[in-house]
Structure 1
Amino acid sequence: MNGYCGKMLFVNLTDGALEERELTKEMAKHFIGGYGIGARVLFNMMEPNADALGPDNVLGFVTGPLTGTAALFSGRYTVVCKSPVTGGWNDANSGGFFGPELKKAGFDCVFIRGASKKPAYLWINDGKAELRDASVLWGKDILETEKALQRELGGKQIRSALIGPAGEKLSLIAAVMNDGHRAAGRGGCGAVMGAKNLKAVVVRGTGKVPVADSEQLKAINQEILSTIKNGPAAQMANAFSTFGTTLFTFPSALGGDSPVKNWGGVGAVDMGEEAAKKLDGTALDAKYRVKKYACANCPLGCGAIYDA
C-alpha cells in the first residue's frame, strides 16, 4: 500500500503487552493518517468518561501517508489523546525527524494505554518493539535524556519523542518533545505521557516507504521549490526561512495576540512597543543566532539555535 507501512503498534503499559495490527486499505482510505486515524482509534478504544491522567486514556503517535517519503514538508507527526486541560479531544503536531523515522522503523502509528508500575520507555528498532526500564532517565531533562538514549542505543541515528521533569510531574502545559527542540505542545499531552510513567518512545529504522510514482513526486517537489523561490509568496518564504516564527512576534504583539505574564496582559498594550521590538525576529537574529537548522525534507529551515 503506497504511502503506508500497513502496520499499527498497540502497547499496554499495565501488563507490558505489545500487539501489531494491520492498517487496512479501507481505514487508510477513510481516515488518511495523522489525527484522522488517531480520532478513529481513540473513538473505538476509549470510554467518554476516561480519566485523561488515568490508565484508560490512549496516547497515540500518528503519521500520514507522505511522512517518511521524499515529499517536501513531510517531516511531521501528530500526538493524540484525551486532553487533561479540556477533558476533550487533543491533537498536537510536531516537526523534526521522529515521524519519518517511525515510518522507516515499520509502523504508521503507535497507540499506548495503561500505566507502567515504574518508569519505562518504548524502543522500536526496524519493526521490533520492546519496553525497557527508564528509571535512570527519570528526572532528567530533554537533552540529557536524548543523549543518554543515544549512548545506550546507537548514536544519533535514533530519534525519540520524550518528556522532561514537567511531564513527569504532570504539569498540564507539558509538551512531548522530539529532536531536542521540537514540541507537540498542545493540550497537556506531556502530562498524559508522564501519568503513564512513559519517559520516551525511541525509534530507529532503515526501511523505505513505498510511493506510487517516484518520478512524479520529484516533479511535484521541483514545482513546489520553484513556487517558493519565484512565486508571489517568495519574499515571505525567504523571510520565514531566515527568521522562523519570530518573524511574527512583533506584529502579534501589536495586534494584541501575544501573552504577557501567562496572559495576565496582552501584546504591546502591557509590554510596550519598544519592549516588543526587542523580541522581533530581526533583532534576535542579529544579536543571538548561532546557527540554522531544518526539519526532515523541509526546504525552508525555519529553526535556529540562539545563545543569549
Structure 2
Amino acid sequence: MEHAKGPLLTIDVGTRTVRETDIDDELESFVGGRGVATKLAHDRIPFDADPFGPENRAYISTGPLQQSQMSFTGRMNMTGLSPLTDGVLSTNAGGYLSRNFAGTGYPVVEIVGESDELLAIHVTDDGVEFEEVPELAEAQVPRVTEVMNERHGLESENLITIGPAGENLVRFACVMTYDSRAFGRGGLGAVLGSKNVKTMSFEGDSTPSVELPEDVQSEIHAEAATTDDMMKRQGTTAGTQFIHDNFSLPTRYFSEMEFESVEGINGDAVESKKYKKEACSVCAFACKLPTKDEARDLETEGPEFETVFSFGSNQGIGDVVDVMQSNELCDLLGMDTISAGDTVAAYLAAEDEFGNAELVHEILPKIAHREGIGDTLAEGVERAHEELGVGNWSVKGLEFAAHDGRAIHGQGLSYAVANRGADHMYGNMLGPEYDGQIDPEGLFEEKVEMLIHRENKMAIRDSGIVCAFGIDDYISEEQLAALLGTDWERLDGIGSRVIELERHFNNERGMDREDDRLPYELPDFETALDEYYASRGWNDDGTVPEQSAAESAAAGDD
C-alpha cells in the first residue's frame, strides 16, 4: 500500500531543539494525514493534558497524494487536543501549502513545548531555524506574510500563520495559510498561540517518491478539468437555494428553519461578486470564490456556504456584502467562520439585534482581542450560552454547521456521535440525504450502517489526502483504493481504526454516551445510538473496550 514517507520532525519550541523519529510503521498502518497524526496524538499527548499547556502537541501532516499532480489533492491536515471540544481533533485546509510542505521531506511535523518569545519557525530540507518576532504581536495574517516576504522571500503558500485570535487564545481561533485558507475547526490556532508560535514556513526540494497509477490520476484530473459543475462558478454556495427550499437553512440562531432574504446571500448573489477564478494547488476544478465589492472597497475569498449560513441567515443578515465583510474580518484575525458566526448569532439573540451587520463587524475584533463582551464570546457557545441566556447549539463544544439535522436526520446523528462534535464533514451524511440516495427522515438501521461506512471513508479521505468536493462525485472508492495500491476493505479498516483512536482518546478525557447529544429530539435516537455503538464494537455507554483500543493503536497490525 502506498503511504506518506519520511521521518517525524519534532520541534520543541521551549528548548528550541529538533529531532527526527522513524515512523515507518505508523505510516504503513495509517497512510498519512489525519490517520497518522491521530495515531501519534493518541500515543504522545497525555490523556490529562491541558489544551493550552506545553504538553499538548500540534501535528501538521500530509498524505501520499500530495506527491501527485492530480486535482483534488491540494490539501493538508492538522491535529491536536482542541481547546474548544477538549478532545482530539483534526482539521484540514486547501491552498498551495501542501507541495511546499512535502518538499521538506517530512510527512509530519510535531510542535510541542512553549516558547518564552513569539516565534517564526522556518522548516526546510536543510534544517529548522527559530526567529524571534515580538514586533509581530497582534499582527493580522496578511501583515505577517508581508514581513516574511520582505525578510526571507517567503510567499503566503509557504506559510501557516495565526492572527490576534490565536495569540489571545480564542477557543475557535484557526490557523491560516495562503492568507485566506483556514485550518478552521476546533481552535488549533489557539494551540499555536499558547506555544507562542506566530508563523511557520515550509520549503525544500526533497519530496519523497510515491508511485501512483498514472491512468487513474489522468482520468480524475481530466474529469475535474472538463466537467460542467456549478460549483466551479459558485463554490459550495451553489446549493444554498436548493437546501433552503427543500430542507432547511437555520435562521436567527437556529430559531427558524427558513430565511426570507435567502436570495440576497445565495449562490447567485455570491457569483455576482466573483471577479476571477481561483483554485488549490494543481487542481483543475477551480471552485474557489475571489469576490469584491467596489462600493465598500472590499476584497476577500468567499464566502462559502457555511459562512453564508453563519454570518447570513443565522444572524438574520441578507446582504452578501455584509457577509463578505465578516468573512474577511475572520480571515484577517484568524477565526473559524462557523464557530465565530454562530457565537455572534448567540449574542445577537441575547441582545435582540438580529440583522445588525454593523454590530457584527464591531464585535469580531473584540472577540479576537478579548475586549469587553468579546472575552465572553471568545469562549464559544458552550461556555458562553448561560451568561448570554440562550440555548447551547453545540455538540462537544463545537458549534453547528448549516446542514440541519432536524431536516436530515442522518446528519443529526452524525453530529451527535462525531468525535469532533457538530461538524458536517466528519460523517458527511448530508450528501446521500440531500440527493435522495436515502430517506432524509428517520434513523433506521441502514442509515446507521451508512454513517459508519462514511465516517470511515472520510477518515481515509483526510489521510490520503483528497478534497471533500472530489471524494463522492469525482473519485470513487475503487479509484482511491487503486491510487493507494490496495483494496477498499483494507482502507475501510484503517478508517475505522482512526475513528476508534479518536474515540478512545476522548473517552480517557471523560467523554462517553452523555456527550453524544443534540439540542433537539430525533425519532428513535437512543435506539440508533445503541445500534451505532454495537456496530462499532463499542460499549453501550459509548466507550471503546480497552482490548479494542489496544488493537487499533498497534502499528503494523493490518
TM-score range relative to shorter protein: 0.7 to 0.9
Number of the residue aligned with 2:424: none
Tell which structure's C-alpha radius of gyration is larger: 2
Number of the residue aligned with 1:19: 19
Number of the residue aligned with 1:302: 287
Q: CA deviation at 1:168?
A: 0.9
Q: Tell me the SS of whatever aligns to 1:71.
A: coil
- Contact kept, 8 Å, 1:106 with 1:127, in 2: the verdict is no
Q: CA deviation at 1:4?
A: 3.6
Does residue 1:248 correspond to 2:244, yes or no? no
Where does the alignment leave 5 or more consecutive residues of structure 1 unmatched? none
Encode CA deviations 1:270-290: one digit per residue, 9 max, x unaligned.
Answer: xx33x211111212212x222
- Alignment partners' CA distance in 1, 2:116 and 2:239: 44
Assess, with a 3 A threshold, how the Cα gap between structure 1 residues 205 and 267 changes in structure 2: closer, same or farther. farther
Assess, with a 3 A threshold, how the Cα gap between structure 1 residues 123 and 228 changes in structure 2: closer, same or farther. closer
- Alignment partners' CA distance in 1, 2:4 and 2:201: 20
Query: 1:57-136 residue pairs with structure 2 within 5 A?
Result: 57-136=56-135
Number of the residue aligned with 2:48: 49
- Contact kept, 8 Å, 2:3 with 2:32, in 1: the verdict is no
Between stretches 149-158 and 68-77, larger displacement belongs to: 149-158
Encode CA deviations 1:231-281: one digit per residue, 9 max, x unaligned.
Answer: xxx44xx21111111213333444334464xx354552xxx33x2111112
- Contact kept, 8 Å, 1:3 with 1:209, in 2: the verdict is no
The structure whose RCO (Cα within 8 Å, separation 6+) is larger is 1
Residue identity matched to 1:302: C
Q: CA deviation at 1:54?
A: 1.1
Residue identity matched to 1:12: D
Assess, with a 3 A threshold, how the Cα gap between structure 1 residues 190 and 253 changes in structure 2: closer, same or farther. farther
- Alignment partners' CA distance in 2, 1:38 and 1:208: 19
Q: Tell me the SS of whatever aligns to 1:123.
A: strand
Query: 1:246-285 residue pairs with structure 2 within 5 A?
Result: 246-254=237-245, 255-258=247-250, 260=252, 263=253, 265-268=255-258, 272-273=259-260, 275-285=261-271
Number of the residue aligned with 2:217: 221
- Contact kept, 8 Å, 2:3 with 2:27, in 1: the verdict is no
- Contact kept, 8 Å, 2:280 with 2:286, in 1: the verdict is yes
The structure richer in helix per residue is 2
Encode CA deviations 1:3-43: one digit per residue, 9 max, x unaligned.
Answer: 6441221011111111122231x222101111111111112
Runs ≥4 residues deviating over 6 A: none
Q: CA deviation at 1:167?
A: 0.8
- Alignment partners' CA distance in 1, 2:181 and 2:13: 25
Give the TM-score normalised by the residue count of structure 2: 0.50
- Alignment partners' CA distance in 1, 2:243 and 2:33: 29
- Contact kept, 8 Å, 1:53 with 1:192, in 2: the verdict is yes
- Contact kept, 8 Å, 1:114 with 1:196, in 2: the verdict is yes
- Alignment partners' CA distance in 2, 1:307 and 1:128: 40
Residue identity matched to 1:239: M
Assess, with a 3 A threshold, how the Cα gap between structure 1 residues 157 and 166 changes in structure 2: closer, same or farther. closer
What RMSD over aligned residues (CA atoms) do the two structures have, in Å?
2.1
Q: CA deviation at 1:158?
A: 5.7
Q: Tell me the SS of whatever aligns to 2:136.
A: coil
Where does the alignment leave 5 or more consecutive residues of structure 2 unmatched? 294-558
Number of the residue aligned with 1:164: 163
- Contact kept, 8 Å, 1:61 with 1:110, in 2: the verdict is yes
- Alignment partners' CA distance in 2, 1:301 and 1:229: 9
- Alignment partners' CA distance in 2, 1:259 and 1:119: 40
Assess, with a 3 A threshold, how the Cα gap between structure 1 residues 167 and 142 changes in structure 2: closer, same or farther. same
